[in-house]
Structure 1
Amino acid sequence: MLVPRSFAVEDAGPVVELMRSNPLACFVLGGESPSVSHLPVIFADDDEHDDLHGITLLTHMNRKNPLWGALRDGTRVLVVFQGPHGYVSPTVYGVSPAAPTWNFTVVHAHGVVRLLGAGEPALRVVKRTAQVLEGRFGAGWDMTGSLGYFERIVPAVGALEIHVDAVQSMFKLSQDQPAELQSKVAAAFAGSGRGTHRELAEQMYTHLRLKADIDGS
């Protein structure tokens, strides 16, 4: 991924937060005929992670997924986490000439796979995934009453670790524009009702240290 210097992120904090806030990732296996699956990918632990090199990620999929059959210990994969994004119309700038663009946040995690055994190892990943996602996005669901159900379905689950050895992140948030236009773009996203535009505005206000708040005031 080409990452212009102005769009690069040096601090691991925002990168970790993006990955944890957007766990439905694109799991990519390269080669002559690339394969892609959309999978929940989580951190193996709850540490802060000041350095993303060497972290371990967890995911799982149906064993009938052709991607599962193509994986081996040591297989190199790419995991793409897509954060908030949105189209920037030139009308927002209020100047001419201008060109449309797309603001976005994304993380590419490269690493190698270690397949986990069926049974208890796979069950641990399923339980960890439920715990993490319920804790961040749920309403306090207690999995205790469903553990028997988990045990019945886990034979169909293929679980694995991804040992990350390289991370690229790109937060394209109008850094190539003057501060006045950055504020206009952020305010436009903050006032939008579309998709994750308000989250994108929050990213701009925080990452660019703009003086306006999320309401654009």
Structure 2
Amino acid sequence: MIPLAAAQTEPTVPLLDAPPRRTGSGGRVAAVLAIVLGTATVIGSYVLAVLDPTGRAFDDAVMDAATGVGLRGEGLDVLELVGIPTVALAVIVLAGVALARGRGDRALGVVALVLGAQLVTQVLKAGLVRPESLEGNSLPSGHVTLVASLGLALVLVVPRALRPLAGLVAVAVTGIAGVATMVAGWHRPSDVLAAVGVVAATGGVVTLAGALLRARPRPRPA
């Protein structure tokens, strides 16, 4: 029998190994998945709804039906809210929320997400072609890209407990913007879907880059 004094001084031996510390690998996997799915969405939208004649006809028919419901003016009113001053103000507010929470990396992420997604959209819009059409290419939608990127930025900067609510708001405003562009006759469904894909992929890149930068070993002070 071990004396009481000895038992108090002996180190405790754990019966089970301590659980490993979380390294954030789940966030990296989610970011990579967003990049893959977002890229696949953009490619699929272009191939199936632009290059394929049957898909192109269906895409045009849906936009024509949306335009014909007689709500063109309402759609234009909604889209007028999405302009440079409004977007700039939203970016400043979202970055300010991140800074107020002590998350400078998230503040930089907001700017990188909104500007990066819009840059990708404009490059794709200028580089892709629409066969058998005298119109310029409209895929992806720039307006939907802006709204969706701001919605995703909102999800990234709010506290974890509020992210489900922020996600619902992001989906709602993106859906409204997408419908408005079709009702106004500006974009087809494939343009809207491709814009969402661009934002998802860009968000994945920004998130993955932030995770990799945070994981870098910091040099010890001399």
TM-score (norm 2): 0.20
Structure with greater strand percent? 1
Structure with greater helix percent? 2
TM-score (norm 1): 0.20
